[in-house]
Structure 1
Amino acid sequence: MPQLEVDGAALTYDDEGPRDGDGVPLVFIHGWTADRHRWDHQVAHFASKRRVIRLDLRGHGESTGAGARAVDELARDVIALLDHLEVDRFVPVGHSMGGMISQTLALAHPERVERMVLVDSISRMTYSRGRGLLMAVSTLVPFKLFVAANIQRAFAPGYPRDEIRGYIKASAATPKEVVMTCYGAMRDFDVLDRVGEITAPTLLVHGFHDIQLPVSQMLRMAKAYPDAVVRIVDAGHELPVEKPAELTSTLDWFLTGRA
């Protein structure tokens, strides 16, 4: 896989699909402790007709580098990659922390963001009692237990346990320093008072059973967007892998079928 050196990190990425395809490139941005393969279903669908770019964020997946202490740092990595690939306008599609990165990109580079898709993401971290307790004890419990508790909660009830165990194992393989610094970056993220500046048409797709970032928080954010459409899916926080076909069809509608 190709890699790009950016500020002490080697970013692994995929750049697929026709350069002269339908629409501007899609840029898929994964969430905390995940990797670019969260988007396998969507990339397989869209790469047949338009350019599709995805990356492993610094310290995640096959990328190297220390964790980011602010979401802005991760957004700068994405822009560095797009500049390297000579991509001007694009559509960011971000899941969870990737959605925070997408909003940061839209605010910092409004002229480059044509549309935006936020999947199970929010503009300001507001904690449920359970999530607040988990954060409070996060430095006191063993690292693998901390990761396992977060990932277990990310899936809707009834999702296959064997598959969840696989995602827990993959997340726990992310270096502890990367996991904890990015966790802090999400905790400090807050652009809710600025999302009214984002005029790009925006799709907000959210799992009904998401207890990591509840639907109520997303709806609060949606009210602040000048041009947003909301879709609620019968899934948890890990919508790209829980309901991949439904997410892909919703993206297709937003990108090509919506007036």
Structure 2
Amino acid sequence: MDTVEVNGLRLAYSTRGAASAPPVILLHSLGESGSTWDVVAPALAGTHRVYTVDLRGHGSSDRAGEYSFELMRDDLRAALDTLGLSKVTLIGHSLGAMVSWLLAGEDPERVDRLILEEPPPPVAANPPRTLPEDPDPDAPFDWNAVAAVYRQRNEPDPAYWDLLKHITAPTLVIAGGQQSQLPQDQLARIAELVPDGHMTTIPSGHHVHRDRPEAFIAAVSAFLA
């Protein structure tokens, strides 16, 4: 695993595939790490240079004093700059999807394709997200990151909806169907607001790429082709 210095932090990442191939960035969900993509990444590495990144406060990346969707977006932007990646495909799950969405909406020229797996819509979480009473002190992530994301999920910024209209990349929203805790009609709205947005449903719940990897890989590969 390699690291890249961004905004005073070390972000850990790993790579697969030929260095000359088109770059794909994989971003994990809250409380996970780049290892969640260990089945998906090799499947994409035949045609792409695949980067799996640990977001701040997760996995092997540094813990930080502050967390938010916006700070993670800024980390991603800085990492792309440092790695010399001017235009990439972004694939994000949940938290990673929101980070990808923010970058694609604010810097549309940097994103070639966008895939949002179960992105959390900017509507108040129902029920509200709360931390466990006794968080595991040995968890492989910073509970402060979880608390910060929960606050943003409970009181989301409605301006996130407007960013969708500025995304120029062809975008695929992958929904998990009725087994997911996210409101599927809101995921459909996300796809509708992106000018070149599309949605596919893979009945599986929130963790599509983990629980139905073959279907997820097939959908992603077809979209990228």
TM-score (norm 1): 0.79
Structure 2 unaligned regions, length at least 5: none
The amino acid that maps onto 2:173 is L
Could you say which residue in structure 1 is the equivalent of 2:212? 243
Could you say which residue in structure 1 is the equivalent of 2:124? 126
Could you say which residue in structure 1 is the equivalent of 2:20? 20
Aligned with 1:213 (options 182, 193, 204) = 182
RMSD: 2.0
Q: Which moved more, 1:68-77 or 1:176-185?
A: 176-185
SS in structure 2 of the partner of residue 253 of structure 1: helix
Deviations 1:64-98 (A, max 9, x none): 12264321110111111111111111011010011
Aligned with 1:173 (options 140, 157, 167) = 140
Q: Which has the higher contact order (CA 8 A, sep 6+)?
A: 1
Determine if contact 1:18/1:47 at 8 Å carries over to the other structure.
yes
How far, CA to CA, are the matches of 2:45 and 2:131 in structure 1? 41
Is the radius of gyration larger for structure 1 or structure 2? 1
Could you say which residue in structure 2 is the equivalent of 1:156? none
Aligned with 1:84 (options 82, 85, 90) = 82
Determine if contact 2:115/2:174 at 8 Å carries over to the other structure.
yes
How far, CA to CA, are the matches of 1:100 and 1:33 in structure 2? 14
Could you say which residue in structure 1 is the equivalent of 2:203? 234
How far, CA to CA, are the matches of 1:202 and 1:246 in structure 2? 18
TM-score (norm 2): 0.90
Q: 1:184: how far off? A: 2.3
1:112 maps to 2:104? no
Could you say which residue in structure 1 is the equivalent of 2:151? 184
Deviations 1:169-209 (A, max 9, x none): 99x43222222123224443441133112121100101013
The amino acid that maps onto 1:224 is L
The amino acid that maps onto 2:164 is V
Say if 1:102 and 1:68 are closer, same or farther in 2 by CA, change over 3 A.
farther
Query: Percent identity among equivalent residues?
Result: 30
The amino acid that maps onto 2:135 is F
Q: Which moved more, 1:117-126 or 1:102-111?
A: 117-126
How far, CA to CA, are the matches of 2:121 and 2:65 in structure 1? 21
How far, CA to CA, are the matches of 1:100 and 1:192 in structure 2? 11
Point out the structure with the larger helix share. Answer: 1
How far, CA to CA, are the matches of 1:140 and 1:43 in structure 2? 32
